[in-house]
Amino acid sequence: MQQVQKGDTVNVHYHGTLIDGSTFDSSNGREPLQFIAGTGQVIKGFDDAVMGMETGDKKTVNIPVNEAYGERNEDMIMEHPISEFPADMKPEIGMELQMGDDAGNVFPVVIVEVTEESVSLDANHPLAGHDLTFEIELVSIG
């Protein structure tokens, strides 16, 4: 039977949970996730986990933070004057926004603090700082 090797296009079903058992993502009810193995299209721990799997194989892997989305970086929390926000917008903690940089890249941020003068935005990935567990089923190779 064929085993996954670097460069193979793979299709997998997955269920991702945090240490407390709560689900953060799942392909249940959707098409399988397709990616090219070993090319960095998914987090390192997930990429490594599918290597050597055969069609139909199932496994559960624990992925440490350094092979997932990394540690939280406090430098990724930015404070902006509330006057920079549209007058008709009421910033609230937990609100998700999109920001752009000078190079034209767009990335998600979450409001983590609101004062009378400023709004603090967190650009860390929502799963940064977390160890992750994935149940993976290899649906197909190629």
Joined together, the tokens standing for residue 34 give 């397709």
Give the tens place of pLDDT for each residue, 38-91: 999 999 999 999 999 999 999 999 999 999 999 999 999 999 999 999 989 999
Angstrom distance (rounded) from CA 81 to CA 35: 40
pTM value?
A: 0.81
**DSSP codes joined into one string, 42-87:** S-HHHHHHHTT-BTT-EEEEEE-GGGTT----GGGEEEEEGGGS-T
- For 9-70+127-141, CATH gives 3.10.50.40
The highest-level CATH class for domain 74-122 is mainly beta
Domain residue ranges in the chain: 9-70+127-141, 74-122
**What confidence tier does 102 reach under pLDDT thresholds 50, 70, 90?**
confident
